[in-house]
Amino acid sequence: MPAAVHLVIPCYQESGRIGPFLTELCAVTQTLGGVTLRVVEDGSDAAEVARMREILAPICQQHAHLLAPLFLPDNLGKGGAVYAGWDLEKSADWLGFVDADGSCSAAEVARLIGRARRQETPHTALFASRMGQFGREVHRQWQRRLIGHVFGSLVATLLHIRIHDSQCGLKFIPRSAYARIAPSLRIHGFAFDVELLAALHDSGCPFEEIPISWFEIPGGHVHLIRDSYRMARDVLAIRRRRLTR
């Protein structure tokens, strides 16, 4: 039997983008076997929740491995939504998440699932990366590309962890590794990926960056100045906590 994989799709105000991607993702992952999916709606307003329920209901009926969506009463942040979904899953060998907008195709998700399953024992976390290497195409807005470069430099300089793209919205973590570090994870916003990376690194769980193709879908919620400040603040907080351990 292939290793069991549980994939969370965190959503906040994503009803305008999730439908086509989720339909494709369900079709592709159904052929793999041993994969479950769960959409986590992160405290959007009532009208958005109603739209999401309308979109998700027929897809859930068609695909048994798409589990009942989780509707959070409050907005926790992307990391909070991911962890809420992961915490509901108690038996999968791998825990993952993928952005809801479809910038990363279902085919790329399946490729990383295959990469994870080729590990005889879940050991190395897999971080998708928009490096544009090995024939992978990457199309991103300049604002997001700039934030990514700045953030990568901050992580390398302040946390001494070499990584090209800590923020790519596709990752797979061995469940056993997540169980060890979950109590220490505090950041639920955009920088949650960095805290997750640092906690895995410090716990002895290695990670590998896997270049993927990425075609950015308009309609994201990133703000260049505001989110750059928040990310820098969170990285400094992570650094302080690591130094006081």
Which domain CATH number covers 83?
A: 3.90.550.10
- Mean pLDDT over 201-208 rounds to 95
Which positions ≥6 away from 215 have C-beta within 8 Å? 103, 105, 137, 139
- Measured from the Cβ of residue 156, the count of other Cβ atoms closer than 10 Å reads 14
Reported as a single tens digit per residue, the pLDDT across 44-55 is 999 999 999 999
- Find residue 210's DSSP bridge partners: 128
- The residue count of the chain comes to 245
Residues 56-102 have pLDDT tens digits of: 999 999 999 999 999 999 999 999 999 999 999 999 999 999 999 99
Evaluate if residue 19 carries a pLDDT over 70.
yes
The structural domain count of the chain equals 1
In the chain, beta strands by DSSP E: 5-11, 35-42, 70-72, 94-98, 125-129, 138-139, 170-174, 207-211, 214-215
Helix 224-244 to helix 192-203 angle (10° resolution) is: 20
pLDDT tens figures, 112-132 = 999 999 998 889 999 999 876
Model confidence, pTM: 0.91
Q: Say if CB 2 and CB 117 are below 8 A apart.
A: yes
The predicted structure's pLDDT at residue 234 = 87
- pLDDT bracket for residue 5 (50, 70, 90): very high
State how far the Cα of 43 lies from the Cα of 77, in Å rounded to an integer.
9
Q: What is the pLDDT of residue 120?
A: 82
Q: What is the CA radius of gyration of the chain?
A: 17
Give residue for tokens 């339909």: 23
Q: How confident is the model at residue 137 (pLDDT cuts 50, 70, 90)?
A: confident
Residues spanned by the domain of 66: 5-244
With cut-offs at 50, 70 and 90, classify the pLDDT of residue 222.
Answer: low
DSSP 170-220: EEEEEHHHHHHHGGG----STTHHHHHHHHHHHHT--EEEEE--EEPPS--
State the pLDDT at residue 29: 98
The pLDDT confidence band at residue 13, using thresholds 50, 70 and 90, is very high
pLDDT, the chain, mean:
90
